[in-house]
Amino acid sequence: MPRAGDPWAERLEQLDRYIEDEPKRDRRRRRWRWTVRIAAGGLFAFILLVGWLAVTAPLSRSLEPIAPPQLTLLASDGTPIARNGAVVDEPVRAADLPPHVIEPFLAIEDRRFYSHWGIDPRGIARALWSNLTGGPTQGGSTITQQLAKFTFLTPEQSLTRKAREALIAFWLEAWLSKDEILERYLSNAYFGDNTYGLRAASLHYFYRHPENLKPEQAAMLAGLLQAPSRLAPTRNFDLAERRMRLVVAAMVDAGYLTAEEAGRLPTPRLDVRRRNELPTGTYFADWALPEARKLTGNGYSEQTIATTLDSRLQGIARDVIARAPLGTAQVALVAMRPNGEVVAMIGGRDYARSPFNRATQARRQPGSTFKLFVYLAALEAGMSPEDAIDNSMIETGSYRPRNASGSYSQSLTLEQAFARSSNVAAVRLFEQVGGEAVIDTARRLGVASPLAEGDPSLALGTSTMTLMELTAAYAGIAGNSFPVRPHAFVEEEPGWFDWLWNGRDSLSRGRHEAIERLLRSAINRGTGRAAMLRAPNFGKTGTTQDNRDALFVGYAGDLVVGVWIGNDDNSPLAGISGGGLPARIWRDFMARALGETRAPARPRPTPSPDPAGPVQPQDVPQIGDIPLGEGGSRLRVDGGGATLSTEVGGMPVDVRLDRDGLALEPGAAPRDDPPQDTAPR
């Protein structure tokens, strides 16, 4: 035992105690190291969180309207055609608003707004207690949290979303002043009736700017924020008034009003002067709106923008479609200029019942209208309209299409085969020039839809595409400049530099004349006779397997028009082919659009002179194309003479009488050949 007062003994004792305490010191050091690591990790996570918020929730987003502002589309003559988007107006400034306008919002939404840091624990506790004790349902979100929610987040109800909401609220409080937060909140909040922001709401409901609102008007607007759609005073004024009285009571409780002042506040009177009588959507407007939003950009102001739609032509299209005997079938029509400006559009029989646009969204088989690409590929390979192609039945191979007319011959010229829409000739031509050449031709003309490679049925139009896409390809032929991009807004004329580098292509003069010769023959002597006009016109019929789709696409003057008829469930049409009703719709539209005929007079109801029943007149729209009997014979009268089209022994024959005398020439059966046995076998 060490002696008392021995310094060495005391040192040994201290050393023993130090050794005994070493494990405790190690534990403290480990705890300190972990504390430092956790703090560093938390700091690093905070830095990452700030960076994440800077990327995913930029402050600039709180300055933008949360709903696209109202946009009015005009026809080319300035006629309004559709209005879409929310009613918004310029943001408000807190400094310009009188206290009696701000106080109702603070009293009912966030009384401690100017004292909390984005989240109000007292407000959350009060809301929880009220909800648990059966009191009026309350929410614990502050104004800052609400701004974070409708500016940066989705409306989903989850703990993750609430956590993000709280983080963004702290972030907004750190970077913005209280007045800036309040301004952005009031300028974006929804007030019902498709109206966003305090300025738009005060103008909508009371026709005055928010700076001039009366106290009772401001109280009613503040009350709408709880359930804007249900409380909108234009729809349910009694509920809006009861909610306003609740807001006034909250103002008394918060000390903004005395009970006597609250009792003197009258019920406000509405002054709604804005009316929206335009449709919010049409087939054309739905198609044009995405591009219009790109042109106008983001902002609070309502905007109007002129489109390429021609109100006169659109009216003609509607009238022609309404008069067509469609039965239960659907219909689509697209009219455009050769440069791609869309001037009329019908996407279906009734937009209100079905806004699905069959002109731009439906992908259907084009049938024989696709033969344009086959024959153009042949012309570009060096062939001419006078060259012969075998028109006999295909007896070998796995794919053996048939001509719908049942008529065959040893050979036809390309012009005759195109006019008659011979299936066997088109397939042989497809195999002769090669499927790659045909697909390349379609691509150059702007067809972007998938096209089956190595499938000879492609020649008969078995790959699907939209009517808009197909019509634009024909527009490229009409203007001899392709590909054509359909558009709804006027584009600037390209300069010489753009003209050199825009990648547009064209046909040589000889090839362009040759393909137009084929398109002209399809109407003059072929399946498209029902589309004949007095002016030069060019086009092609199309009918798919089992008459599931019937089309006519062509051009005349400065218009290129495509017409499609079919059933949405892809069931067969009852007796409708491309050379029938679609061609007649195309002709009726074109004749009125180009001024060849006027709108038919609407018959006035008159007493029937024969009580036995009404007289059914023969449907002869104009003297230029008269059906004769039930055998398919027709008499066509033009300025130079008359042509009788009939069949002799199953072969089509045209008998022509004009100033040069009587002439007999091979004709074309007025039928369109749908593809037969379209699937390779």
Of 27-31, 110-114, 623-627, the range with the lowest mean pLDDT is 623-627
Q: How many CB atoms lie under 10 A from the CB of residue 354?
A: 14
pLDDT of amino acid 301: 79
Reported confidence tier of residue 75, pLDDT bands at 50, 70, 90: very high
The answer to whether residue 277 scores a pLDDT higher than 50 is yes
Reported confidence tier of residue 64, pLDDT bands at 50, 70, 90: confident
CA 378 to chain centre: 36
Would you say 192 and 209 are in contact if contact means Cβ atoms under 8 Å apart? no
The answer to whether residue 456 scores a pLDDT higher than 60 is yes
Reported confidence tier of residue 681, pLDDT bands at 50, 70, 90: very low
For 112-141, what is each residue's pLDDT tens digit?
A: 999 998 887 776 666 555 555 555 444 568
Q: Average pLDDT in the 29-57 region?
A: 73
Q: Indicate the SS3 state at residue 52.
A: helix
**Which is more confidently placed, 524 or 13?**
524
Q: Average pLDDT in the 164-168 region?
A: 80
Q: Average pLDDT in the 531-559 region?
A: 96
Of 195-199, 346-350, 421-425, 638-642, the range with the lowest mean pLDDT is 638-642
Q: Average pLDDT in the 665-680 region?
A: 44
pLDDT of amino acid 487: 97
pLDDT of amino acid 469: 98
pLDDT of amino acid 35: 80
Q: Hey, which residues does 344 pair with through a beta bridge?
A: 335
CA distance 431 to 219: 78
pLDDT of amino acid 248: 97
Q: Which of 78, 59, 466, 75 is nearest to 309 (CA)?
A: 75
pLDDT of amino acid 611: 35
- Residue 630, token pair as written in the block: 């039930």
Q: How many CB atoms lie under 10 A from the CB of residue 623?
A: 9
pLDDT of amino acid 649: 45
Q: How many CB atoms lie under 10 A from the CB of residue 385?
A: 19
Q: Which of 527, 523, 551, 552 is nearest to 537 (CA)?
A: 523
> Which CB contacts under 8 angstroms, 24+ apart, belong to 315-323?
316/344, 316/589, 316/592, 316/593, 316/599, 317/344, 317/345, 317/346, 317/589, 318/346, 319/599, 320/585, 320/588, 320/589, 320/592, 321/346, 321/349, 321/585, 323/588, 323/600
Handedness of CA 403, 406, 412, 417 (dihedral sign): negative
CA distances from 130 to 126, 139, 200, 201, 287 (A): 6, 10, 33, 30, 49
CA distance 220 to 205: 10
pLDDT of amino acid 661: 62
The answer to whether residue 212 scores a pLDDT higher than 80 is yes
Reported confidence tier of residue 405, pLDDT bands at 50, 70, 90: confident
Reported confidence tier of residue 160, pLDDT bands at 50, 70, 90: low
Q: Average pLDDT in the 489-504 region?
A: 72
pLDDT of amino acid 214: 97
Q: Average pLDDT in the 546-564 region?
A: 97
Tell the burial category of 672 from Cβ atoms under 10 Å away from its Cβ (0-12, 13-18, 19+): buried
List, in order, residues 6 or more apart from 240 with CB less than 8 Å away: 220, 223, 224, 231, 232, 233
Q: Where are the beta strands (DSSP E) in 453-610?
A: 537-543, 549-556, 559-566
Phi first, then psi: what are they for 449, rounded to 5°? -65, 155
Q: Which of 574, 522, 578, 545 is nearest to 464 (CA)?
A: 545
Q: Where are the beta strands (DSSP E) in 429-581?
A: 537-543, 549-556, 559-566
Return the DSSP state at 59.
Answer: G
N residues, the chain: 681
Q: Where are the beta strands (DSSP E) in 500-608?
A: 537-543, 549-556, 559-566
Of 25-29, 137-141, 271-275, 357-361, the range with the lowest mean pLDDT is 137-141
pLDDT of amino acid 296: 84
CA distances from 247 to 122, 193, 207, 244, 617 (A): 20, 20, 21, 5, 71
The answer to whether residue 422 scores a pLDDT higher than 50 is yes
Report yes or no on whether pTM surpasses 0.85.
no
**Which is more confidently placed, 636 or 412?**
412
CA distance 80 to 469: 27
For 648-662, what is each residue's pLDDT tens digit?
A: 544 445 666 666 666
For 246-270, what is each residue's pLDDT tens digit?
A: 999 999 999 999 999 999 999 999 9
Q: Average pLDDT in the 445-453 region?
A: 97
Of 27-41, 143-157, 612-626, the range with the lowest mean pLDDT is 612-626
CA distance 196 to 198: 7
Reported confidence tier of residue 602, pLDDT bands at 50, 70, 90: low
CA 286 to chain centre: 4
Mean of the per-residue pLDDT values of the chain = 85
